[in-house]
Amino acid sequence: MDSTVRPISPNANANAAVAAGNGPAPARVPALPPTRRVNEPGAAARPQHAPSQLRGGLQAWDSQLQDDVARAQEALDYLERLQGQLENIKGDLAARLSGARNSRQLETRIRQLGGMLSARGKEAGGVDAQLGFSGGAPARQHFRIRGLDLAALKAAGTRTLALTVGGGPQVKVDLEGDMTSTQVAQRFDRALAPLNLHASLDEHGQLVFSSAEADWAKVKDSIVLVGAGRVTTEEVGTALEPQAWDTGNADALRQSLREVVQALARVRRSQEAASAALSAAIERMNHAKAPPPQEAQQLAQQFVDTASSPDYDSLIALTSALVGVSRDRVIALLGQG
């Protein structure tokens, strides 16, 4: 009896079922390109760790630059569409208030605006709930901490506060009684930065904190003031809440119009910030040091070698290297967007 162990074809079981009349004909599987192993006679020499080299080579490119370009472009696109929608609503509100015409599109446009704001996290490229854009960084959630307002902090005089977030390491904030509001915010900002939290003054000169939007669910109930216990956080609301607008009376229409005008001012400031971020990213791109020709050629050859090898490690290397590579990103990097 022949006891030799032979490799099993991927379609062996399906073929056996067809031969026995117990199953449908298997789908035709396209043949993979023939691959010669390194140890086969005449095979071209190939580095044993080509997949890992490929991952390392592609990661050496400035992925942060790509992210900055893509985020700024997404923000500008979103803000342009939002500006157009707000301008239309502004005109409809003014027309209804003046009695010149009763725009039947107003309610429809308000619903569309609500949909745009709901999709902000997926489409806006870093525009936050207050319609702000901060230099291309991911959007942040702003919040206040009850008891840590400027009036209370200044009244307490010189003191040291210790905070933890999520049971992590303590950070200390040293405050003096004669500090200005800006200095208090800066002192908190420096202390909290290692925890990816920030502090600043809002447009009314009040102390406000922020975390990455993606981290907010973990942060909001996990801040502890050492000696006082867990603090209460309060989200800073969105810049616009069109679902709460009342279009049935003049006073409500005037209030909605004021909110739209304020939102348009925020949008214009964010457009300027996003344009500046995009220009800065393009400037970095223009001055980026190109890889040496020999290194680029080696990377290209590694890609070809890996792509021609249908083994698991090679497929993992390819998919890892190409994560996030889209047509829009390629066009942006080529300067054709």
Write down the pLDDT at residue 34.
42
- pLDDT classification of 301: cutoffs 50, 70, 90: confident
Nearest to 55 by CA among 314, 336, 282: 314
Average pLDDT, stretch 303-309? 71
Residue 311 DSSP label: S
- What is the residue-averaged pLDDT of the chain? 77
Q: Which of 6-10, 26-30, 108-112 has the highest mean pLDDT?
A: 108-112
- pLDDT classification of 122: cutoffs 50, 70, 90: confident
The answer to whether 135 touches 291, Cβ cutoff 8 Å, is no
For the chain, give the percent of residues with pLDDT over 90: 38
More confident residue, 289 or 72: 72
Average pLDDT, stretch 48-63? 47
Write down the pLDDT at residue 48.
43
Q: Which of 144-158, 296-310, 320-334 has the highest mean pLDDT?
A: 144-158
pLDDT tens by residue, 160-176: 999 999 888 999 999 99
Average pLDDT, stretch 19-25? 43
More confident residue, 276 or 50: 276
- pLDDT classification of 329: cutoffs 50, 70, 90: low
Q: With 70 as the cut, is the pLDDT of residue 118 above it?
A: yes
Burial class (CB in 10 A: 0-12, 13-18, 19+), 123: middle
Look at the pTM and tell me if it is higher than 0.75. no
Burial class (CB in 10 A: 0-12, 13-18, 19+), 137: middle
Nearest to 320 by CA among 57, 62, 137, 74: 57
- pLDDT classification of 204: cutoffs 50, 70, 90: confident
Q: With 60 as the cut, is the pLDDT of residue 249 above it?
A: yes
Average pLDDT, stretch 220-239? 91
Write down the pLDDT at residue 1.
44
Burial class (CB in 10 A: 0-12, 13-18, 19+), 28: exposed
Write down the pLDDT at residue 5.
40
Average pLDDT, stretch 295-323? 66
